[in-house]
Structure 1
Amino acid sequence: MVTCEYMRKMADYNRWMNEKVYAAASRLPAQELTAERGAFFGSVMGTLNHLMVADLIWLKRFTRLPTANTALDGLQGIETPTALDQPLYQDFARLREQRVWLDGVIVAWANALQAEHLEHVLEYANTRGDRFRKRFAGLAMHFFNHQTHHRGQVTTLLSQAGVDVGETDLRALLADET
């Protein structure tokens, strides 16, 4: 069962991992970041871009929930991407800057959620126009799982390029019990 505590922990994990992944990726030259590596979205940069695109698409959908909180207000001036591989920023530094900002939005959004928000049903269309009606709690699980899935691909691409991301397990963020 999805809880607000789960959402907050996953938002923290998302931010922590993105900081680690971007720090690791910054050790590669620009041509290595954009080199075709056979991943779903081609390169390290392509995969990081896809994560930003997907996060924006989902968060913009979440703004339509009746319980959307003010943490998502900063997305109002941002157009919703129309393709999963739509390039958002041409240079890594700008993508990283926007990632830091978006992760702050995600943390603030998760911190403002209340239990009753998780029960709402969201009606939306995917980028192909297919229509769905899904409970927000399940979509929130997908939102965070999708991030983990593609960051796993990025850590593999970085490892293949000789860059170690370090600890990636959520377990590292869990407090020790006394």
Structure 2
Amino acid sequence: MPTIANHLNLLARYNADMNRQLYDAAAQLPAGELTADRKAFFGSVAGTLNHLLAGDTIWLKRFSTHPADFPALRAMQALAQPSGLTHFFGDDIATLRAHREQLDAIILDWAPQITAADLEHTFEYRNTRGDLFRKHFGSVVLHFFNHQTHHRGQASTLLTQADIDIGITDLLVWVPDL
């Protein structure tokens, strides 16, 4: 029976692999198409990628305040706090990919550091408006990974509409056979 640690490591690997696939697919867009307004929630493919970077950076910086003091998240201190969920990191694949790969490396290092006891912690944080929340840390970590999947799905749709195939996206492919 897989442990919670197995599940989090699976989600971290899936996240990193899917981000590679997404960025490889987005790199196939003709010049100007990355930033073209496609009437999506964040406008363009670049807008969606920027949102994912902003969300992940914000959450990882919040997670770095957990009493467990996860060693992998200490690297988050060196990263600037995004101005909000539409923070602009860049409008070219190379710039966005560099930040994405940095975050994914941190996530891959962080996931195996999380214990079952860490997940049971009541986690306090403030949203981007300053409102205070107290939530179950394990549930917030699941939200973190689900948020990425949700917005990658939006980006995948935008790329499919531009006749670019992102490839297989089902988590099931990453689940090991028994």
Q: Shorter-chain TM-score category?
A: over 0.9
| RMSD, aligned α-carbons | 1.2
2: CA distance, partners of 1:30 / 1:60: 33
The match for 2:35 is 34
1: CA distance, partners of 2:69 / 2:131: 23
The match for 1:116 is 117
Shift of 1:120: 1.1
2: CA distance, partners of 1:161 / 1:68: 43
The match for 1:101 is 102
Kindly provide the amino acid, as one letter, of the partner of residue 134 in structure 1.
K
Which aligned pairs between 1:18-167 and structure 2 lie closer than 5 A? 18-167=19-168
Q: Equivalent residue of 1:158, what SS?
A: helix
Provide, for residues 68-87 of structure 1, a one-character-per-residue CA deviation record: whole Å limited to 9, x for no partner: 31101111111211211010
Report percent identity of matched pairs. 51
Shift of 1:100: 1.1
- The runs of at least 4 consecutive aligned structure 1 residues that moved more than 6 Å come to none
Q: Which shifted more, 89-98 or 53-62?
A: 89-98
Shift of 1:31: 0.6
Shift of 1:89: 2.2
Q: Equivalent residue of 1:98, what SS?
A: helix
CA contact under 8 A between 2:160 and 2:166: conserved in structure 1? yes
Q: TM-score, normalised by structure 1?
A: 0.95
Shift of 1:56: 0.4
Provide, for residues 126-178 of structure 1, a one-character-per-residue CA deviation record: whole Å limited to 9, x for no partner: 1122210011100001000000000000000000001000100001111222x
Q: How many pairs does the alignment contain?
A: 176
Shift of 1:63: 0.6
Kindly provide the amino acid, as one letter, of the partner of residue 166 in structure 1.
G
The match for 2:176 is 175
Which consecutive unaligned segments of at least 5 residues does structure 2 have? none
Q: Which shifted more, 165-174 or 75-84?
A: 75-84
2: CA distance, partners of 1:39 / 1:126: 23
Q: Which shifted more, 159-168 or 88-97?
A: 88-97
Distance verdict in 2 for CA 1:26–1:116, change over 3 Å: same
CA contact under 8 A between 2:34 and 2:46: conserved in structure 1? yes
The match for 1:13 is 14
1: CA distance, partners of 2:59 / 2:33: 29
2: CA distance, partners of 1:69 / 1:7: 14
Kindly provide the amino acid, as one letter, of the partner of residue 95 in structure 1.
L
2: CA distance, partners of 1:174 / 1:147: 18
